[in-house]
Structure 1
Amino acid sequence: MGIPLDKASFLALFLETLFYGVFLTLYWLTLFVLSKKTDIQRQVLTPVATLLLCIATAHLVIDFVRGLEAFVVKVDTIGADTYYSNLASPLDLASKALYITQTTLADGVVVWRCYVLNGKNLLLTIPGCIVLLVNGAIGYYVVWSLSRTGPLSNVSDAASACITTFYTVTMFISVTCTISIAWRIYTTRRFMPGGLAALLPVFIVVIESGALYATSVLALLITFLIGSNGEYIMLDVIPPIVGITFCLIILQVHFHVGGNSPTEQSSEPRGMITSLFRGRVTRDVGFSMEPMAVHITQETEIDQSDMMGGKNNQPVSGCIFQL
């Protein structure tokens, strides 16, 4: 037996509040990390994180208002189940519009990551942007279609097909771009010192960030196709999950990848993952920060501290997005 609509909506509000608290905590940690970075990093990443938080906040406020109306204000008149069954409710339409905006923005960030890592190749990025824009248009069409339905009407076949398409394309964009990013890192770094072992931290960050979001969308698609009211739970949970995923990418890079020790081995994975945000695929070369002495046959000690200045003709890493 499926979960009733009123109970699913109440559980969705509870879980959304829980995940929003996690997102809010990670957001402030992210701001603290970005406050110590360069102006370019703050100008790009801080507005995106703030916009994701604003949309998630607005979505939560609307759901709280709907919950008060369903379980307090109108509980003795129409009941919570009938209240949530009204798909043409202005608050419900606003909530779905915010969900579409949040997911479209998240997909845009994923496409942008794929764009900068592939050397800003427009031939690879333009198809992704077209699919992203078309998918967003489909999502807003669904909102418009729901606004034309009656108070107790069901979703039309056309709107149902569009909803399925929107969920499927959203998951496709996330999975495809994540695989593209992982493959790009593998092909450019597999011959670096350390081999696949050095790439492992990079794959952890990239795959985890994509898997968390893609799994949530997959659960939403499955619940919709089987006609379960669990769909409403996932609809409310995904907006804060989008922000959590974005913040985790930055925090994982800053606190975990290559952060165990300041050795040459740890500096290589850090350079790889930080190049993900700037599109730089450069070779990092470790330099000792201590003066080094070399004895030759005449027992003469030659100070090699000039090598610290890069006089050994070795390329120094150009990655400036050091988290």
Structure 2
Amino acid sequence: MGIPLDKASFLAVFLETLFYGVFLTLYWLTLFVLFKKTDIQRQLLIPVATLLLCVATAHLIIDFVRALEAFVFKVDTIGADTYYSNLASPLDLASKALYITQTTLADGVVVWRCHVLNNRSLLVAIPGCIVLLVNAAIGYYVVWSLSRTPGLTSVSTAASGCITTFYTLTMLVSLTCTISIAWRIYHTRRLMPGGLATLLPVFIVVIESGALYATSVLALLISFLVSSNGEYIMLNIIPPIVGVTFCLIILQVHFRVGGNSATEQSSDPSGIMTSIFRGRSTRDRNFSMQPMAVHITEETEIIQSDMISGKNSQPVSGGIYQL
């Protein structure tokens, strides 16, 4: 027996509030970490995290207003179940539009990370941008289609197909980019001394961050395909989960992998780079292994790493590493 629509909607608001509280806490911790970093990192990561928080906040406020109308103000007139069945409600459409905005922004960040990690290859950027634009267009078309739907009617077949496509593309973008990033880390590190032994912490950061988001979207897709009201629960909790995932990437790198002090890092030659950073690689005839502190630009952590250098080295600009 499936969960009734009114109970699913009430549970959705409760769980969204819970995950929003987690996101808000992680957001302030992330700000504390980022404010100790350079201006370049602040200009990139703080605006993205703040935008994710703003969208999640607006989504939560709209869902609270809808819950008040359904369970308090209009409970004696139309009832909560009938209220939530109105797919053309302006507040419901606004909530769905914010969900699409949040997921598109999250997918954009993932594609950007994958693009930078692959030496800013256009073979990654162009297909990724095309998929993002197509997916966003499909999502906003669904919102427009629902706005033209008479009240208390089911989703049309065309809109249902678009919704399935939107969820599927969202999940595929997350999985594809996560696998690509993990493979790039392995391919870059496997030939270096002690590389495989230091891969585990990095893989945990990458896989966990991608799996949390992809699993949530998968649950949303499955619940929609089986016509379960659990879809409404997932629609509400994914916006804060997107922010939680973004903040966890930064905080995991800082506390789990890169939380050592500068003194400890300088004395530990087996430290690893755990994020995308811009630097200069070196070539030379006489190679030697020297520990060097590197500056990370995306995940905002300074971590010890083994880099190849020599006496007569020549810098090669544009080197990008993820270890």
Does the alignment reach a TM-score above 0.5? yes
Letter in 2 for 1:212: L
Which residue is 1:50 aligned to? 50
Letter in 1 for 2:248: L
1:72-221 aligned at under 5 Å gives the runs 72-221=72-221
Residue 189 and residue 141 in structure 1: after superposition, are their counterparts in 2 closer, same or farther (change >3 A)? same
Query: Where do 5+ consecutive residues of structure 1 fail to align?
Result: 289-309
For residues 191 and 311 of structure 1, the distance between their equivalents in structure 2, rounded to whole angstroms, comes to 19
SS in 1 for 2:257: coil
Which residue is 1:298 aligned to? none
Using the TM superposition, give the Cα deviation of residue 268 of structure 1 relative to its aligned residue in structure 2, in angstroms: 4.9
Residue 70 and residue 266 in structure 1: after superposition, are their counterparts in 2 closer, same or farther (change >3 A)? farther
TM-score (norm 2): 0.86
Residue 179 and residue 22 in structure 1: after superposition, are their counterparts in 2 closer, same or farther (change >3 A)? same
- Superposed CA RMSD: 2.6
Give CA-to-partner distance per residue, 1:261-314, whole Å, 9 cap, x none: 72569665542x12x2x35595984269xxxxxxxxxxxxxxxxxxxxx98668
**Larger proportion of strand:** 2
For residues 165 and 310 of structure 2, the distance between their equivalents in structure 1, rounded to whole angstroms, comes to 57
Instruction: Kindly name which structure, 1 or 2, has the bigger radius of gyration based on alpha carbons.
Output: 1
Using the TM superposition, give the Cα deviation of residue 192 of structure 1 relative to its aligned residue in structure 2, in angstroms: 1.5
For residues 279 and 203 of structure 1, the distance between their equivalents in structure 2, rounded to whole angstroms, comes to 20
For residues 143 and 267 of structure 1, the distance between their equivalents in structure 2, rounded to whole angstroms, comes to 54
For residues 213 and 170 of structure 2, the distance between their equivalents in structure 1, rounded to whole angstroms, comes to 10
Give CA-to-partner distance per residue, 1:51-86, whole Å, 9 cap, x none: 000000000000000000000000000000000000
For residues 221 and 281 of structure 2, the distance between their equivalents in structure 1, rounded to whole angstroms, comes to 39
Query: Where do 5+ consecutive residues of structure 2 fail to align?
Result: 283-288, 294-308
- Answer yes or no: is the 8 Å Cα contact 1:117–1:280 preserved in 2: no
SS in 2 for 1:286: strand
Residue 286 and residue 279 in structure 1: after superposition, are their counterparts in 2 closer, same or farther (change >3 A)? closer
Which residue is 1:297 aligned to? none
Letter in 2 for 1:79: G
Residue 118 and residue 152 in structure 1: after superposition, are their counterparts in 2 closer, same or farther (change >3 A)? same
For residues 105 and 38 of structure 1, the distance between their equivalents in structure 2, rounded to whole angstroms, comes to 24
**Larger proportion of helix:** 1
Which residue is 1:236 aligned to? 236
For residues 171 and 265 of structure 1, the distance between their equivalents in structure 2, rounded to whole angstroms, comes to 42
Is 1:286 matched with 2:266? no
For residues 237 and 212 of structure 1, the distance between their equivalents in structure 2, rounded to whole angstroms, comes to 12
For residues 258 and 193 of structure 2, the distance between their equivalents in structure 1, rounded to whole angstroms, comes to 14
Give CA-to-partner distance per residue, 1:156-202, whole Å, 9 cap, x none: 00000000000000000000000001111111111122131111111
For residues 41 and 270 of structure 2, the distance between their equivalents in structure 1, rounded to whole angstroms, comes to 21
Q: How many residues align?
A: 298
TM-score (norm 1): 0.86
Letter in 1 for 2:7: K
| Deviates most, 262-271 or 188-197 | 262-271
- Answer yes or no: is the 8 Å Cα contact 1:30–1:247 preserved in 2: yes
For residues 223 and 144 of structure 2, the distance between their equivalents in structure 1, rounded to whole angstroms, comes to 22
- Answer yes or no: is the 8 Å Cα contact 1:258–1:267 preserved in 2: no
For residues 312 and 158 of structure 1, the distance between their equivalents in structure 2, rounded to whole angstroms, comes to 65
Letter in 2 for 1:211: A
Letter in 1 for 2:291: G
